Amino acid sequence: MSVNNGMSDHTAKSRNSKFKQKFKQQRLPAWQPILTADTVLPAFFLIGLLFVPLGVALLLFSDGVVEVQVDYTECPSVDPRHRDPLGGHFLCKDLILRPEFVPGENFCYCDIEFNVTTAMENEVFMYYGLDNYYQNHRRYVKSRDDKQLAGKQVTDVSDCSPFDRDNRSRIYAPCGAIANSFFNDSLKLYFTDSQKGKQEVPLRGDNIAWDSDKNIKFKNPPGKTLDDKEGGAFENTVKPLYWTKPVFKLGSPPNNTGYENEDLIVWMRTAAFPSFRKLYRRVDNSNLEFKKGLAAGLYTLHVDYNYPVHTFGGRKRMILSTTSFLGGKNNFLGIAYITAGCVCFLLGVVFLVIHVKFGER
């Protein structure tokens, strides 16, 4: 038995050695497709015939999405105390940068009227959009502590530097540049009815974040109470540098405050491009007045203006949008399919002409 085992081991090692030698010398069996006119031309025409109709269908679905955008970057304050010497109103973007303006104590409100020309049926979503805002910067993206956001007790928050601790060594909750720059404008929507006058559109702030984020990545730390008192979940922590209130006062307890606040969760998922939008609210279809969505007519956007973007040349937008089964309005995918299909079809025609004319050569 030992002799047979020795021979089999020697045979296996020999085969393994031969395989390694063939692999290193690139002499292993291989398959290489032979491209001929009979195989390439049908492929080009087939891709063209499939991609063009698919792209047209995607464009039709995208065109079925109703979307309204309102830029409110330079909206004037409605406060009579904010009048300029010429009788007009100062812009909120300038007022919030004044030294005497203290966030949380002073407020700048503005109203913008706009028309919805096409009724927005079924579910309607409200987004806020930011332009020229680079959330994809490497240092910005890394400036967070996922263990802290998951509700674990942490003492080392060096990844959040320089927004890790205050001058009394208390940990910011939450820490990091992403959380510190949390979007804090408040948006409300009003509909002007010809008979009932101006009425507020009911908006809901639940179910706006990803389920995986809500259920796994973001949890409040354990504690007797949801505050920063002794024994509380946020004991020995302090609100971020540029926040006006602590994290446990963001929303209504117990399910939408602290690290589990959905506005915070949405903001913490950084965008890939400098112009982006994030889901802010959903129109409450349980209200009888807006059960079918938003009717065409005159609307007013009321903004509690707090978030500065003028210093880096940014812009702020409010977007109302319906959706299709593909999501929001996006023409890029349809145009890409049509372009790729047309290019493939054109190349097929060119190669067919070349094959017919010069194939015998």
Q: What is the pLDDT of residue 29?
A: 77
Banded pLDDT at 4 (limits 50, 70, 90): low
Contact (Cβ atoms closer than 8 angstroms) between residue 97 and residue 293? no
Residue given tokens 């949390």 in the structure block: 182
Q: What is the pLDDT of residue 27?
A: 76
- Region 287-297: mean pLDDT is 91
Q: What is the pLDDT of residue 1?
A: 47
pLDDT(13) > 70: no
Instruction: Give the chain's mean pLDDT.
Output: 89
Q: What is the pLDDT of residue 164?
A: 94
Provide, rounded to the nearest whole percent, the portion of the chain with pLDDT above 70: 93
Query: pLDDT: is 49 or 39 the higher one?
Result: 49
Contact (Cβ atoms closer than 8 angstroms) between residue 322 and residue 123? yes
Residue given tokens 């008192």 in the structure block: 229
Banded pLDDT at 246 (limits 50, 70, 90): very high
Query: What element of type H or E holds 320?
Result: strand 315-321
Residue given tokens 């909206």 in the structure block: 75
Banded pLDDT at 135 (limits 50, 70, 90): very high
Picking from 131, 183, 78, 126, the residue whose alpha carbon sits closest to that of residue 299 is 126
Residue 311 makes CB contacts below 8 A (sequence gap 6+) with 97
Q: What is the pLDDT of residue 357?
A: 83
* Helix extents (H) in the chain: 2-24, 37-63, 92-95, 138-142, 146-149, 177-180, 211-212, 262-268, 332-358
Contact (Cβ atoms closer than 8 angstroms) between residue 233 and residue 223? yes
pLDDT(226) > 80: yes
Please tell me the least confidently modeled range out of 28-32, 68-72, 121-125: 28-32
| pLDDT tens track for 307-338 | 999 889 999 999 999 998 888 888 999 999 99
Contact (Cβ atoms closer than 8 angstroms) between residue 49 and residue 345? yes
Residue given tokens 């009227």 in the structure block: 113
Pairing assessment for the beta strands 237-238 and 171-172 based on DSSP bridges = parallel
Q: What is the pLDDT of residue 145?
A: 96
Q: What is the pLDDT of residue 187?
A: 96
| pLDDT tens track for 66-89 | 999 999 999 999 988 877 777 678
Q: What is the pLDDT of residue 234?
A: 92
Residue given tokens 């977007």 in the structure block: 319
Banded pLDDT at 281 (limits 50, 70, 90): very high
Contact (Cβ atoms closer than 8 angstroms) between residue 47 and residue 341? yes
Please tell me the least confidently modeled range out of 138-142, 233-237, 278-282: 233-237
Picking from 191, 196, 194, 249, the residue whose alpha carbon sits closest to that of residue 220 is 249
pLDDT(6) > 60: no
Contact (Cβ atoms closer than 8 angstroms) between residue 303 and residue 78? no
Q: What is the pLDDT of residue 3?
A: 46
Residue 304 makes CB contacts below 8 A (sequence gap 6+) with 107, 108, 109, 185, 186, 187
| pLDDT tens track for 136-159 | 999 999 999 999 999 998 999 999
Report residue 162 as tokens. Answer: 């320089």
